Structure 1
Amino acid sequence: MKVLGLILAGGKSEKLGPLVYKRASAALPIGGKYRAIDFTLSNMVNSGIIKVGVLTQYNPRSLMDHLGSGKEWDLDRKKGGLFILQPYIGFSGEYWYKGTADAIFQNMTILRRGEEDYVLIGSGDHIYKMNYNDLFLYHFSKGADITLVTKDLDDSYNMSEYGNVVINDDMRIIEFYEKVENPPTNKAFLGVYFMNKHLLMELLYSTVPSGGNDLLLDVILPRISELNVYAYDFKGYWRNIKKGINEYFKINMDMVFKREVREELFYKNGKVYTKLKDFPPAKFTSNAKIQNAIIADGCIISGNVKNSVVFRGVIIKAGARVENSIIMQGTVIEEGAVVKNAIIDKDCLIREGQNVTGEFEPVILEKRTTI
């Protein structure tokens, strides 16, 4: 079975504030050396998908630099491979993507010319590990036209921020509520679609030219009673970084504090691939004290680090203290500085004796800030 993978990675999330001023949310660093898009992209590759299109739009430079030719994901190949799908001006004058359906419609060529029979559509903002082959088998066993991946969310999620799904006894979706207060169930749609490619093309041709630009709201939901749309329940760890700074911070802290989350994300169902960098192993001097932290390669640690994620090439000098924080690549924390409950973006300099402490929520230093 041949499947085309499409990753929606052009979104702009104002909830992430300064973290996305200079990058797409899909390019947001996470877990020490990864980017958010690495998880969905690796899921596809580990499931045997060898042709992937990444639809970009907002601040794509960092994301494109990270993806490159797709070599790290074994997608630099003659047949299939990685395709970066950006907005462009054509004869029709179209340019900026108006929504998820319009984004795919403007890149209909990758659908028409491909040999694939099916399309898997996911988001570059979601952190999870999944073998899509189980989804494919489920789709065929149900005789579904479209399968949407869902999950029963617990109290750590704000249900009003997610699409809510109502199913019958056969898992067929009979109702859908998009981000409403007090939804009838806790079953949420996770932004992953699987369907026949020709069905998708037919739906887009009949909807987008008349102004329907959203894949879920304008293309699928108006036809939910006439199409066999099924829910596939995902049982594993799943979070969406676009929900805000606190969500992004929680995901990183889950990797630090929860062993089961680390094992699921990094050891089950294949590896998480990312862009390689030529850093040496992390170095810890005799003054260093590390407790419950993720330390990436290239770091030089002489201070105290506790309950934190430290990205590649970070220098923490003697007497400095880092606690409950995320320190991104290339940052230098000098002697005696204190960083608590903070997110420090790339290439920042925190000078000797400075104190960067968040109170009720993480404080953020923008990229290349010096204090």
Structure 2
Amino acid sequence: MRALGIILAGGNSSKMRELSNKRAIAAMPVAGSYRSIDFALSSMTNSHVQKVAVLTQYNARSLNEHLMSSKWWDFGRKQGGLYVFTPTVTADNSWWYRGTADAIYQNLKWLKNSHEPYVIIASGDGVYKMDYNKVLEYHIAKRADVTIVCTECRDDDPSRFGVLKMNEDYRIEEFEEKPMVSSSNLISTGIYVIRRRQLIELVERCAQEDRHDLVKDIFIRYKNLKRIYGYKIDTYWSNIATVESYYKTNMDFLKPEVRDYFFSQYPGVYSKIDDLPPAKYNPGSSVKNSLIASGCIINGQIENSVIFKDVYVGNNCVIKNSIVLNNVYLGDNTHIENCIVESRDTIRANSYHCGEDGIKIVVEKNERYAI
């Protein structure tokens, strides 16, 4: 493919509350066995993008561990491959990434040393499948300077996103980032196509003016000077950067049509594989409309829930409408409802947690072997 990829995975979101205390948003577990960044990486490899950079910063340890081997997404190759860039102190610069444009600027040498004519920029917190080739063909056909992938906002708050308005030729006439009041339901998905040389020029100019944000300081600022077009999609797309949207996205995978789209239809979604045995259901256990990942041992009752890898559910436990992240131990007679249980937690026997006014995040700060 005539494009290289950049995945922006360094951001943090206070709207994730305790869930972002120990991991980047792009490393959030999704659908039992995946991480959020897997969807962007899988779309890159399925579109035959052979050279991809992941820009990480905030709480990047678990994300870097996940990306340690690039073979899972077929990036173990002699030419191109997967590059992970974190902020680096140099003789000229000692800043952390101050924004998305600054993150690209600090790694501009990688862009300048590349030869592909186009760049696909994606966010690490989106859940979707996409053929970037179709977006690139559209970009070339429109002779666009920038193409922004957009979608109709159905169930979420449009003011969380960049809100767009297009004319009949799909050229973007209005673009506002996270407006207080939204007059349109058309939102940016955080996926962009731009010519590599133009990106270098715009990012360098942005840095000279001490501006650091890709959307506000480049795309919105130049919307009347550059030919910026929208590419509208109607397939599944979700952003997980708030607790509510993260919960809803995982619950969407309990729907047969969503599971079929991601897990059964070509092309697939790839992730790092852990050597864990299949889930074990002991006598007396009951599971209804739930996703149970590998390595789990189930003794209690589970309904309308997503249980991630290596979770132990004790006797007489009841889990309803909840998400239990990786490596959690649930003691006997525990009741969990409308909750997200943080990974590596030990929930003591006879505990009761219920999210009555929204989603409750359960974080037990204890040591597994001290109980």
1:102-251 alignment runs, 5 A limit: 102-154=102-154, 156-242=155-241, 244-251=242-249
| 1:202-242 deviation line (CA, Å, top 9, x unaligned) | 11122212212111111222221221110000111111111
Distance 1:271 1:114, change over 3 A: same
Which sections of structure 2, spanning at least 5 residues, go unmatched?
A: none
| 1:37-68 deviation line (CA, Å, top 9, x unaligned) | 11111111111111110001101000000111
Structure 1 equivalent of residue 74 of structure 2: 74
Pick from 251, 254, 261 the counterpart of residue 253 of structure 1: 251
Structure 2 equivalent of residue 8 of structure 1: 8
Query: 1:366 offset after TM fit, Å?
Result: 2.6
The 8 Å contact of residues 239 and 251 in structure 1, kept in 2 or not, is answered as yes
| Alpha-carbon distance in structure 2 between the residues aligned to 1:358 and 1:305 | 16
| Alpha-carbon distance in structure 1 between the residues aligned to 2:106 and 2:266 | 33
Secondary structure of the 1:290 match is strand
| Alpha-carbon distance in structure 2 between the residues aligned to 1:246 and 1:211 | 34
The 8 Å contact of residues 345 and 368 in structure 1, kept in 2 or not, is answered as no
| Alpha-carbon distance in structure 2 between the residues aligned to 1:46 and 1:37 | 14
The 8 Å contact of residues 176 and 220 in structure 2, kept in 1 or not, is answered as no
Task: Tell me the TM-score normalized by structure 2.
Answer: 0.96
Structure 2 equivalent of residue 19 of structure 1: 19
Query: 1:369 offset after TM fit, Å?
Result: 4.3
| 1:145-187 deviation line (CA, Å, top 9, x unaligned) | 1100011112x11122221111111000111122223323211
Kindly report the root-mean-square deviation, in angstroms, between the aligned alpha carbons of the 2 structures.
1.4
| 1:266-317 deviation line (CA, Å, top 9, x unaligned) | 3334111111101011111121101000000111111111000001111112
Letter in 2 for 1:100: T
| Alpha-carbon distance in structure 2 between the residues aligned to 1:84 and 1:199 | 23
List, as ranges, runs of 4+ consecutive aligned residues in structure 1 with deviation greater than 4 Å. 367-371
Query: 1:349 offset after TM fit, Å?
Result: 1.3
| Alpha-carbon distance in structure 2 between the residues aligned to 1:53 and 1:140 | 23
| Alpha-carbon distance in structure 2 between the residues aligned to 1:179 and 1:311 | 32
The 8 Å contact of residues 130 and 269 in structure 1, kept in 2 or not, is answered as no
| Alpha-carbon distance in structure 1 between the residues aligned to 2:353 and 2:298 | 18
Task: Tell me the TM-score normalized by structure 1.
Answer: 0.96
Letter in 2 for 1:184: S
Structure 1 equivalent of residue 48 of structure 2: 48
Query: 1:27 offset after TM fit, Å?
Result: 0.5
Whether 1:297 and 2:294 are equivalent positions in the alignment is yes
The 8 Å contact of residues 47 and 131 in structure 2, kept in 1 or not, is answered as yes
Query: 1:335 offset after TM fit, Å?
Result: 1.7
Letter in 1 for 2:347: I
The 8 Å contact of residues 39 and 269 in structure 2, kept in 1 or not, is answered as yes
| Alpha-carbon distance in structure 1 between the residues aligned to 2:364 and 2:24 | 14
1:277-292 alignment runs, 5 A limit: 277-292=274-289
Structure 1 equivalent of residue 86 of structure 2: 86
The 8 Å contact of residues 347 and 364 in structure 2, kept in 1 or not, is answered as no
| Alpha-carbon distance in structure 1 between the residues aligned to 2:189 and 2:79 | 30
Secondary structure of the 2:147 match is strand
Secondary structure of the 1:53 match is strand
Secondary structure of the 2:121 match is strand
Secondary structure of the 1:59 match is coil
Letter in 2 for 1:312: K
Distance 1:369 1:25, change over 3 A: farther
| 1:106-133 deviation line (CA, Å, top 9, x unaligned) | 1011111112111000000111111111
Q: Which moved more, 1:104-113 or 1:174-183?
A: 174-183
The 8 Å contact of residues 285 and 298 in structure 2, kept in 1 or not, is answered as yes
Report percent identity of matched pairs: 40
Whether 1:268 and 2:265 are equivalent positions in the alignment is yes
The 8 Å contact of residues 177 and 215 in structure 2, kept in 1 or not, is answered as no
Pick from 360, 364, 367 the counterpart of residue 363 of structure 1: 360
| Alpha-carbon distance in structure 2 between the residues aligned to 1:98 and 1:224 | 22
Letter in 1 for 2:2: K
Whether 1:307 and 2:304 are equivalent positions in the alignment is yes
Query: 1:135 offset after TM fit, Å?
Result: 0.8
Letter in 1 for 2:7: I
Q: Which moved more, 1:356-365 or 1:144-153?
A: 356-365
Letter in 2 for 1:18: E
The 8 Å contact of residues 317 and 334 in structure 2, kept in 1 or not, is answered as yes
The 8 Å contact of residues 38 and 271 in structure 2, kept in 1 or not, is answered as yes
The 8 Å contact of residues 323 and 340 in structure 1, kept in 2 or not, is answered as yes
| Alpha-carbon distance in structure 1 between the residues aligned to 2:290 and 2:217 | 44
Query: 1:367 offset after TM fit, Å?
Result: 6.7
Q: Which moved more, 1:263-272 or 1:156-165?
A: 263-272
| 1:58-85 deviation line (CA, Å, top 9, x unaligned) | 0100000011131111112221111111
Secondary structure of the 2:253 match is helix
The 8 Å contact of residues 131 and 269 in structure 1, kept in 2 or not, is answered as no
